[in-house]
Copies of this chain bind each other. A is one copy, B any other.
C-alpha cells in the first residue's frame, strides 16, 4: 500500500510575530485561510486514505496538530521529543510503516510548503509511486524547475534519462548541490540541467531502511527500539531520541545512494521560506501589494501586509516592506530582510520578552 509521511518539525521563527514557540509555521494560516499542515493533508485526499497519513512533529505541536486533522488517527501523529533533522524522522517513519506493511511505498513531504493545483500534485505522486514499484531499489525525489537563481535551496543535477511514467520522463541524479553562491546558482539555472530539491521523496520503506543501514548504521541500529517505545507507550524518551545522529536525509542517504531518481515536479511549488515569499503566492494588486486582512494602501508598492481580523493597516508611500500585525506585536521590515526575522526573535529572547516568543 501507499503511505504518506508529512514532516512537520519546523519551528518557523522566520514568521514571527505570526509564529510563536507554540505556533510554528505549519500551524499558521498564511495563504488559504487554513493552516499549511491542513492544506497539506487535504491535498493528499483521494490518493492516500487518512489512516495512511502520518505526521512527524515535535511533541510541543502534536496535540494541536491532532486537533486540526480529522480522520488522521491520533497515533499517526508521531511526537518527536526534540528535532534530529530529516534522516532520523524518516528512519522512524519508515520503520513504523514497514511493521504494518512490509510492501509499503512511502511519500515523504514537508508540512509547510505551498503546492498547487492539488490534482497536479496527486498525479505527480501517483506517477512517482509507479516508478518505485517498477524500480524497487530506487529513491525518487522531485525537482522543481528554477524560476530564479535562488541561493537558499538545494539543487539537483539531472543525469541520464532512465525512462518515463505516464509521459513524464525521469532521470538519474548526477549530483546534489547544497545552497550555492549567487554566481553558481545563476550558472545552474542557465544550464537547464538543474532543479530545486522540493523535499518531496517517494521510495519503498524497505529500500530506505536498507539505505540507512548502509550509510547511517548507528541510526539504523537505534531506531527500532524507539519505534517500539512509541508503539507501546505513545511517547519517546527525550534522552534516547537526542542521541540519534542529526543529519538530513539528503546528506545522509540521497547523496550517497546510486539509484537515485529525479522526476520533474509538474505542480506549482513554493517553500514560502519567509514573509517575503508570500508576495509570490498571494494575490496582489496592480502595484504588487499583497494584502491579507483589512488595509488601506496609498502610493505604496511591492509590500506584503498581514493583519488580524478587527485591525486595519494603512500604508502610505512605502515600498518593499513586510508589515505583519498581531494582537500583541507588529513587525515592520524590508522585504529583502525577511529572512532575518529570526534575529528579532533572538533579540526578544535576550531582552526577556518571553510573552512574545
State the A residues within 8 Å of B (CB).
16-17, 296, 298-299, 307, 310-318, 321, 323, 325, 327-334, 336-337, 340-341, 343-344, 347-348, 351, 353, 356
Kindly list chain B residues whose C-beta atoms are within 8 Å of the C-beta of A343: 298, 316
- A333 contact set on B, CB distance < 8 A: 314-318
Collect the chain B residues with CB atoms within 8 Å of residue A299's CB.
337
Nearest-Cβ distance from residue A121 to partner chain B, whole angstroms: 34
Q: Given known contacts A17-B314, A311-B330, what 11 new A-B pairs fall within 8 Å (CB)? A: A296-B344, A296-B347, A298-B343, A310-B328, A314-B333, A314-B348, A316-B334, A318-B321, A323-B330, A325-B325, A325-B330
Q: Which residues of B contact A331 (CB under 8 A)?
A: 314, 316
Query: Nearest-CB distance from A53 to chain B (Å)?
Result: 36
A58 → chain B closest CB, angstroms: 25
Q: Which of B329, B332, B341 contacts A332 (CB 8 A)?
A: B332
Q: How far is the CB of A325 from chain B (nearest CB, A)?
A: 5
B332–A312 CB distance below 8 A: no
Top 9 nearest A-B pairs by Cβ distance? A316-B333, A317-B337, A317-B334, A312-B329, A314-B344, A314-B331, A313-B330, A316-B337, A315-B332
